[in-house]
Chains A and B, each alone.
Chain A
């Protein structure tokens, strides 16, 4: 072993097997393998492992996947814009509708006071929930982006 520690040689053998070693490294590995039975054995086992791994293939998706792949992406791009516009519109309508409803309920003389309070409380609660969910969505998304490091 001499000038390199054994661990480094082992890593080198691994990259040698992956066809990533340069000429000088190849020489080091080949010479070392001849004189080190431990590495020789590990080399054989790694070879077997890579052989099995080489036969492994990720399952192919259904054929039509590739034909419709881009149009699915395209649809998503388009739909995203649709959703944004729709959401803006829906929020405006919701606020306007809510405002009108509250106005109507307050001005209506025939509705009993208790019912008025109930309806108003329910509507206020709904509004708070909506805002809360919206805020959570926005903040969680922003924050999670920085939690990429695993374990």
Chain B
């Protein structure tokens, strides 16, 4: 793609100016300071670093490829426009995540108001046929969780963030993360009960 090459070209020019080796060892903090000074090239590096996490989390929230792509990119645009408000002493991703989450929630609110869009189950890849039905059921279960729990499930089990990182990203105490995840899993377990052969649990519930 010619445009991309043009962008890379700029990066090299920039690298030559400030010394190539220096450029490579730039920490995220320095990179973000460059972005605050208006450097789009530096921002490109930040975006490349986080684009996958951003996309997959958005996908987990809105369940649709096109919307997830659109919303995550829009979030990066918004983050760039607001980058001056960002405190470079802190980590970029939690800040960015909150921004993207709000965009996604706005989007969901508008979408839900418009029409009841059926969730795309196919967003879970089922390469092996085994457990296909089970995974589809589980995915529906995740989609039906309250947002606060769904968000945690996505961050923990699909993005492999630690409790500590999730606490930072969502600005909640670790204890809350721990107990919310427990309740989320408990609910998912109940949904899956029939599939997994836990029927006897129903008898014991009361």
Question: Are A69 and B51 touching (Cβ within 8 A)?
Answer: yes
Q: CA of A20 to CA of B44 in the docked complex: distance in angstroms?
A: 34
Residue of B nearest to A79 (CB): B77
Secondary structure at the B interface, as helix, strand, loop or mixed, is: helix
Q: CA of A72 to CA of B123 in the docked complex: distance in angstroms?
A: 22
Question: Are B138 and A53 touching (Cβ within 8 A)?
Answer: yes
Q: CA of A49 to CA of B184 in the docked complex: distance in angstroms?
A: 11
Name A41-96 residues within 8 Å CB distance of B. Answer: 42, 45-46, 48-50, 52-61, 65-74, 76-77, 80
Residue among A56, A144, A147 with most chain B CB within 10 A:
A56
Q: Which residues of A contact B52 (CB under 8 A)?
A: 66
A151 contacts partner chain B, Cβ-Cβ < 8 Å: yes
Question: Are A71 and B4 touching (Cβ within 8 A)?
Answer: yes
Question: Are B163 and A20 touching (Cβ within 8 A)?
Answer: yes
Question: Are B178 and A15 touching (Cβ within 8 A)?
Answer: yes
Question: Are A77 and B178 touching (Cβ within 8 A)?
Answer: no
Residue of A nearest to B44 (CB): A70
B7 contacts partner chain A, Cβ-Cβ < 8 Å: yes
Name B5-20 residues within 8 Å CB distance of A. Answer: 7
Q: Which residues of B contact A45 (CB under 8 A)?
A: 189, 196, 198, 201
B33 contacts partner chain A, Cβ-Cβ < 8 Å: no
User: Contacts A11-B179, A76-B77, A151-B147 given: A49-B47 contact, CB under 8 Å?
Assistant: no
A23 contacts partner chain B, Cβ-Cβ < 8 Å: no
Q: CA of A48 to CA of B40 in the docked complex: distance in angstroms?
A: 46
Q: Which residues of B contact A71 (CB under 8 A)?
A: 1, 3-4, 7
Question: Are B76 and A73 touching (Cβ within 8 A)?
Answer: yes
Q: What is the size, in residues, of chain A's interface with B at 8 Å between Cβ atoms?
A: 42
Chain B: interface size category: 35 or more
Question: Are B77 and A80 touching (Cβ within 8 A)?
Answer: yes
CB of A136 to closest CB in B, whole Å: 14
User: Contacts A18-B163, A59-B125, A77-B40 given: A53-B157 contact, CB under 8 Å?
Assistant: yes
CB of A15 to closest CB in B, whole Å: 5
A150 contacts partner chain B, Cβ-Cβ < 8 Å: yes
B148 contacts partner chain A, Cβ-Cβ < 8 Å: yes
Question: Are A14 and B181 touching (Cβ within 8 A)?
Answer: yes
CB of B77 to closest CB in A, whole Å: 5
Q: CA of A20 to CA of B152 in the docked complex: distance in angstroms?
A: 15
User: Contacts A46-B189, A52-B138, A56-B124 given: A70-B47 contact, CB under 8 Å?
Assistant: yes
Question: Are A56 and B196 touching (Cβ within 8 A)?
Answer: no
User: Contacts A20-B178, A59-B65 given: A15-B124 contact, CB under 8 Å?
Assistant: no
A32 contacts partner chain B, Cβ-Cβ < 8 Å: no
Q: Which residues of A contact B158 (CB under 8 A)?
A: 56-58
Can you show 5 pairs from A to B with CB atoms below 8 A apart? A20-B163, A46-B185, A53-B138, A54-B157, A69-B48
13 further A-B contacts with Cβ under 8 Å, apart from A56-B124, A57-B124, A74-B3, are: A14-B178, A49-B192, A50-B185, A52-B135, A56-B158, A58-B123, A61-B69, A65-B69, A66-B51, A69-B48, A80-B81, A148-B105, A151-B146
User: Which residues of A pack against B, CB within 8 Å?
Assistant: 10-12, 14-15, 18, 20, 42, 45-46, 48-50, 52-61, 65-74, 76-77, 80, 144-145, 147-148, 150-151
> Which are the 3 A-B pairs with shortest beta-carbon distances?
A14-B182, A11-B182, A59-B125
